[in-house]
Structure 1
Amino acid sequence: EVLGSHAVQLGIIWLVLAPQPVASFAACAVIATQLFLVVTGNYAWLNWLTILVACAAISDGFWRWLLGGPFPGWSWFGVPLKADGGGADADVSSPLWWTVLVAAAFAGLAVLSRKPLANLFSSHQLMNASFDRFHLVNAYGAFGSMTERRYEVLIEGTEDAAGHHADEETWRAFEFRGKPGDLRRLPRQVAPYHLRLDWQMWFLALRPGAEPWFVALLERLADGDPGVRRLLARDPFDGRAPTALRVRYCLYRYARREERRDGGARWVATDLGVIARR
């Protein structure tokens, strides 16, 4: 997977600028790679956006060749234009003023792109930044680096009247649909669907803090909000409002074969402490 992704995203991708049908085959390679990532991972809209852009490099003729069996002779995106009733083809070439305008815009963007290009090869590369006040040229890096550890933020509640001083046995965790929680639960296959809340919780664990959306989530869970509860896989209180909430920070890793055999756990968690209370 790694070698294939590198070959397509660093090498084959340049062939979309080549003449047809080479560009169409290159676009299909890009689309195939992105679909594989959709099946094996989940990067929200990024894969689908790349697929949409790649489709623009596929020619009408290639579509007819690819899907021409049921639709012989169809022009998928082309509309024949006639200048007059005599059947002469219309002149659809671009006027000179439009060509000059496009060339000027291209030249301007090329000049503005010097800073993003220099940033690309910098030892202190900025992953998400804009280099002009109109935000015309930017640096965008999705997953420029990957962490080697899986940290998790767990939300727990209790119905004990003692609140935050309740015994440990009374604290129960809210289970999310996709992200790790229950140590015995297998990682779920959710792609191509995107679990937005679970996605946000993953990023929160990378830099835990008082994110406004997370504070709002705790408030709604404390109030027993039914809409928020439906975003979860399991509500340990069946819709009742807990007397207290706490947030624990844990380090997760996959269980080794002998650990799975002995206890049935899929994950092993190391408790790093309570980082917030509500």
Structure 2
Amino acid sequence: MRAKIPKRVWLAAGALVGLAWLVTETHWLRVVRLRVELPLSSGRAVRVVQLSDPHGRARFLNGSIATTVNALKPDVVCITGDLVSHQSDLPRVLAELRRIECAHIYFVPGNWERETLSGFRKRLLSQAESAAVLAAVSGVARVLLNAGESITVGGLRLRIYGYDNSACGLERPEGFPGKADVRLLLAHSPQIIESVRRGGVPFDLLLTGHTHGGQIRLFGLTVAQGRRWHTGARREPSNGLFYVSRGLGTTRLPLRLGSPPEVLCADLMGCQPHLHRPPYFLNLE
């Protein structure tokens, strides 16, 4: 006769499975691969890696940020803000970013580059404190505050323009004029798309973060900003690809559910104009 398993054993097993799920959802870093085909007849593929919203997190169960990024061998790394929630974490996060092996690293600030947590309360940083934060970041990455830069990678001309945080109303909508093979826009908040649309700013790829993909998505429910903006890639009418990252860290609650942390790896590839197709996801690692 088979022995009956006590109810408390089933409950304990269920609790352990649930806990393992929560830990994995929060602390297992995924790599999202995106292929963007552009009507170019020359030049090799350019690999752009995006990091967003670490909020003090530098390591995961399956490796650190730098280890993950270096394995992808990026040509350009774009960091779209909110490095830390507590300013005391900034040296540790910058030390991790300093380990990234890439000649072109760019940064645009988020709202947490101008605010911090003191205990459990949020306060705005002074202008001097915020300037000190950006000065520290500039030792790791090129900080773009409504500014752009042109580089050549793999025979392709890239124009990279970074907006100051649109969630704080600090962006300038003009973008970065001039011809280029690839036009890359960076901003922290997806709200920047409103200024981009009004200004008619052309782009091939717009990278943003801020929403954490809702951070907790359960049975179709999520926080307001997770509902307002899409997560992942979406084609803008008569323009390029608009990407909203789930980011790396957490805010308010120290967990994720249904919205795991991610690093975006986007390959910008030339193809003959008559073969040009919409971009598509390759896989989620």
Higher helix share: 1
Question: Structure 2 length normalisation: TM-score?
Answer: 0.19
Question: Structure 1 length normalisation: TM-score?
Answer: 0.19
Return the structure number with greater relative CO, CA threshold 8 A, min gap 6. Answer: 2
